[in-house]
Structure 1
Amino acid sequence: MEVGDGLVEQPSSSPPPPGPNPTPATTSQHPTVGPEPTWTVDEAIDEIGFGPFQLVMLCVTGLAWMGDAMEMMLLSFLGPAARCEWGISPRQEGMLTSVVFVGMLFGAPTWGQIADWKGRKLAFFCTTLWIFVAGLASSFAGSFDELCAWRAIVGFGLGGVPVAFSVFMEFLPSGNRGVWLTIIETFWTLGSVAAAGLAWAVLPHHSWRLLLQLSTAPLALLLLLIPFVSESPYHSAAVGDYATAKATLTRMAKANAPRNQPVALPKGTLVSPLVFQSSVARDEGAGRIATLLERGQRKQTLMLWFIFFAVAFSYYGVVLLTTEVHVDSNAARGDGRKGGTRGGDDAVACTGHGSPDLNYGAYRDIFVSSTAELPGLVLAALSVDLIGRRNSLSSSMALNVVPLLALLGYATFPIWLETLALFLSRAASMWAFTVLYIYAPETVNTSVRATAMGMGNAVARLGGMLCPLFAVEMVESGRMTGAIAFFAALACVTSTVAFFLPIETAGKRLDQVDETGEERHGDVELTYGATEPTNKK
């Protein structure tokens, strides 16, 4: 049936053509419809290339990552502010962080299904609106319980922020996709730095409620821009809307074309690409999870789950610890005001408007430590191909041990040395997180890649939920040495586990690495309407 210029609707339930499956030599050629050649979305995007269209998409989707980081960074200031406002205990303060991760744990799979069902653009808009409204509402909370409820709702929305990552990814040409997916991570760092700077500007003079309200600014801007975002052409083609997919690709080509140059898409008919045959029941989520725990894959899966947990625990732990250390050290400034000694009691100095009363140096040090993610990203970019994924993960966590052990001497440290140790720990944690998100999806086949990443993220959320018990409650209960020692020990164990991971994926193609880390050999046969190669022995 004709759908548009040169486009033919492909029934999703069409049976494969009769006869043998295509051989590897012919799989790169797409079937023709009549006399016309055919082309796919990925071929068109590769031909269009990277240009102004993708740069605009980078900025728009980057605002989502920036808003996400600001909401997470605010937790390190919101807990002490709640103590000033309602006199809550250290355990309750830790709960304020944990409820956000509980919300994310349930939000991530929900928004992912909506993005596949109704489209990336709708899910992107809904998650942004959800976080904006809930974040704004939490600034008007009348009690601690109400604040926790609203922050849990914020967390549910934050679980869908990775949809923005998918939106950007599905507009990138294959040749430099990895580079630009690394660059978008800088928006997270920008959000962390912005949140620290905003807290520095607001909290000494105004209520924490104003801080929450101002932190929704990137989301407000994003809501104004999302209506101009195009639906992913991959999703449009996948649901059979070839006319919309071609219209989007045409806009992209016009935006990227040099001045006075003609705009042209590949000649022929747009079709869905050939995909791999899978031995896994693709419609059964439990079956996919079971595949991750099959013999040969089980060891890799369990080791990665532990690393997901530990890296998230370390990253969010050092973010919270940075503020807690400086809140506790606030009383040691010799001004006679009440506050906790460094790692001592759980009191905190407060302003007359209900905000934590940190001095200039404390805000400066927290701000500086938030910039540590930038060298962490640089280390990840330099190491991931040079020394490999496993060695990068192992090295990043080994580096994390050094500043954490140094922090055990915090009682005799000058403030600048304490800040340097926290800076290095945060840089190492960001290095590890970035490499992990590159490495983990490379270790499994296409048929279970999304499931594997979903499970890894779920385990990471558990790490985020539990870290306040150490980074907040133990510190404020006078057991700071024990908390830091635990973080150091966990980093040491994680470095060792990463070193012995069975698979190295550096320089290997996707779907070509087996459980030993070697490339699969043998004839690979493909069929229509499938998701993964099967080796023909």
Structure 2
Amino acid sequence: FTPPICEVVSFVSPMSAKNGDRANLEGNTGNVGAPSLEDQINAVGFGRFQWIMLGIFGLLVVADGMELVVISILYMALRDEWGLSQIEEGYLAGVIFVGVLIGNLIGGYLGDTWGRRNTVLFSGVFFIIAAAASAFAPDIITLAIFRMLVGFAIGCKLPVAMSIAMELCPTHYRGKLGMVVVGIAFSIGEVFVCLVGMVILQVDHSHNWWRWLLLGCALPDIFGVPLAWVYMPESPHFLLSRGRHEELSDQIRQVAKLNGQEDAMLQDGRVRQLVEETDVDKWQWTAIFSPQLSGITTFCSVVWCVCAICYHGHVFVYPLVLEQRFHMDVGDELWAVALAGAAEIPGVLIGMWLIDLEGVGRRATAIAFFSLACVTALCVPLFTSPTAFFVANMLLKTLINAPFCILYVMASELYPTTHRASGIAFCSSTSRVAGSVTPIMLAWCVAQSVTLTYQVLAAILGVGVLATLLYGHETLNHNLKTFAFEAVEDEDEERTPLKSSTR
């Protein structure tokens, strides 16, 4: 293999670099002609290594899906245990988002400075401890505290896990992998927690059955964290930005061997180096508000808020509506919530297909799902029979979930390596502020009328349509950027995939 001569990019502080400086960013460390990191990752392809990573990240996200849904199916049990009102149920559901908010901010910083692997392992262990402890809470205050700690662990883990998952994947598989990890694995978690609840109800008829369910929510991470410790490497993009070149080349050789692609590996795993690497002392998370990244941060924050309010709002309010309109018991509610969770999977599969279609991509797919969800939300209250109401809510749930998953993929591709975890975490954290008050707001709406509740969801989904229409960037088949100055925010500039001769 004789690659074309490639330019080498020197490091300029993300806060000071400007788009016009690119012509002056060339350097030569003696590695001119070496393949880029993206070239190497694409050469070794998608194989056994990525399947192992998919299993590990899937377990970690399944646990998150279980935890973010479990409280919404325990209202009746907690009401019997402690006599909670609907407003108190809203506070209990909202407190986890306060923890996620704090976890997002801390986890994003740790992921970009301490490393992706270390942050995922730390948050996974913390999650297991907090999730198990919440099962033994003696009162509602203690339960709320532990639920907030669970939220903190999820907030640390999810954005960083998503960053490293995307960074370990070849370009043409990133969209599919991201949708599977965030979409299908999360949906499996929702369904699994309902099925576990049904089994526990059949075995344990005491008023403490819900404690076993909370304990069971830690199981996926109990298996996933040790597997991550053994098999999950550090992100190759993080290693490159930190100048850990030998470690990076060794990792590429190991992945190529595991995938059976040693012959396809370029120049024995050699990767084109940067003239200078990220200086941790100069690194500033506030670069996500710099001119190069502010447009990305604004777009992702707004759309993330829309997705969080509508998705978690529906998860919270659906059991309340079923109880109010159809007087269901907890067993029937579990079935209804499980079906709504399972209904998300077809939407994710359709989204996986659409986001990789030339001429469609991430942005157009998100607009289509937001628009259909808005119309569906307006129609749901019109159905009065239980079966029709179930089906309509299943459709609404899958339409809301798909753009949520697409946004994780887009954000991972829009932010540069130096601020990928921080950017995703910050934008996600803004949605947690909205998510923390959503249960209280929707509890009030349900008390007024079911129709008003779904009208509010439809209005918020309309904001998602508008925000995505106004943002003009597409990330399909684009290579991941390393530094902030590479993330162009000029909408008149054509954004094309990076090739061998990269800036």
- The two structures have a TM-score, normalised by structure 1, of 0.76
Q: 2:15: which partner in 1? A: none
Deviations 1:1-47 (A, max 9, x none): xxxxxxxxxx999xxxxxxx9969x97x97426xx964554443333
Q: Who is 2:330 aligned against?
A: 358
- Aligned pair partner of 1:172 in 166, 169, 174: 169
Superposition map of 1:35-184 within 5 A: 38=34, 41-161=37-157, 162-184=159-181
Question: Is the deviation greater in 213-222 or in 189-198?
Answer: 189-198
More off after superposition, 59-68 vs 134-143: 59-68
The corresponding residue for 2:248 is 245
Instruction: Look up the match of 2:483.
Output: none
Residue equivalent to 1:400: 373
Q: Counterpart of 1:519?
A: 494
Cα distance 1:366–1:252, how it changes in 2: closer, same or farther (>3 A)? same
Cα distance, 1:324–1:507 mapped onto 2, change above 3 Å: same
Deviation at 1:193, TM superposition (A): 1.6
- Cα separation, partners in 2 of 1:288 and 1:406, compared to 1, 3 Å: closer
C-alpha distance in 2 between matches for 1:45 and 1:245 = 11
Which residue of 428, 442, 450 corresponds with 1:471?
Answer: 442
Number of positions where the alignment pairs a residue of Structure 1 with one of Structure 2: 465
SS at 1:88 equivalent: coil
Asked if structure 1 preserves the Cα contact closer than 8 Å seen for 2:413 and 2:475, the reply is no
2:107 and 2:421 mapped to 1: Cα distance? 13
Identical-pair percentage: 24
Greater RCO (Cα-Cα under 8 Å, separation 6 or more): 2
CA distance in 2, matches of 1:274, 1:285: 22
Amino acid corresponding to residue 372 of structure 1 in structure 2: A
Aligned to 2:283: 283
> Is the 1:443–1:503 Cα contact (8 Å) retained in structure 2?
no
Q: Work out whether 1:315 is the aligned partner of 2:288.
A: no
Please tell me whether the aligned partners of residues 388 and 504 of structure 1 are also in contact (alpha carbons under 8 angstroms): no
Q: Which residue of 2 aligns with 1:341?
A: none
3-state SS of paired residue (1:505)? coil
Q: Select 1:191's aligned residue among 170, 189, 193.
A: 189
Which of 424, 427, 434 is matched with 2:405 structurally? 434
Question: Any idea what SS the aligned residue of 1:231 has?
Answer: coil
Bigger Cα displacement from structure 2, 458-467 vs 389-398: 389-398
User: Would you tell me which structure has more helix in proportion to its own residues?
Assistant: 2
Structure 1: distance between partners of 2:247 and 2:337: 47
Say if 1:38 and 1:268, in contact at 8 Å, map to a contact too. Answer: no
1:201 aligns with 2:199: yes
Partners of 1:57 and 1:390 in 2: how far apart?
27
Amino acid at match of 2:491: T
Deviation at residue 145 of structure 1 after TM alignment: 0.2
Corresponding residue for 1:32?
30
In the other structure, the counterpart of 1:349 is none
- Check 1:230–1:265 CA distance in 2 against 1; reply closer, same or farther (3 A cut): farther
The aligned counterpart of 1:505 is 474
* AA matched with 1:291: P
Q: What is the CA-CA distance between 1:216 and the residue it aligns to?
A: 1.3
Q: Cα distance, 1:173 vs. partner?
A: 2.4
Report the AA paired with residue 490 of structure 1: I
1:238 to 1:283, Cα distance in 2 relative to 1, 3 A:
closer
8 Å Cα contact 1:30-1:39 kept in structure 2: no
How far 1:88 moved relative to its partner?
Answer: 1.4
**Structure 1 residues 56 and 424: CA distance shift in structure 2, 3 A:** same
Answer yes or no: is the 8 Å Cα contact 1:119–1:235 preserved in 2: yes
Q: CA, structure 1 residues 61+388, in 2 after alignment: closer, same or farther (shift >3 Å)?
A: closer
- Taking the aligned partners of 1:439 and 1:226, their CA distance within structure 2 comes to 25
- Match of 1:481, SS? helix
Return the letter of the residue paired with 2:110: I
CA–CA distance in structure 2, aligned partners of residues 446 and 214 of structure 1: 35
What root-mean-square deviation, in Å, do the aligned CA atoms of Structure 1 and Structure 2 show? 3.6
Rg (Cα) greater in structure:
1
The alpha-carbon distance between structure 1 residues 329 and 288, as it changes in their structure 2 partners (threshold 3 A), is closer
Q: Write the deviation string for residues 139-177 of structure 1: whole angstroms up to 9, x where unpaired.
A: 000000000000000111001222222332232223433
- Report Cα offsets for 1:82-114 as digits up to 9, x if no partner: 222100121111111211111111111212222
Match of 2:221 in 1: 219
The Cα shift of 1:409 comes to 3.3
Report the Cα offset of residue 451 of structure 1: 5.2
Q: Deviations over 1:235-294 (max 9, x none)?
A: 344444444333333322221127xx77966248655346899xxx97343354153797
Deviates more, 1:263-272 or 1:429-438: 263-272
1:419: which partner in 2?
A: 390
Residue 49 of structure 1, CA deviation: 2.0
| TM-score, reference length from structure 2 | 0.81
SS in structure 1 at match of 2:30: coil
Which residue does 1:353 correspond to in 2?
none
Gap runs ≥5 in structure 1: 1-10, 14-20, 333-356, 527-531
Distance 1:12 1:390 in 2: 30
Once structures 1 and 2 are overlaid, which stretch shifts more, 452-461 or 509-518? 509-518
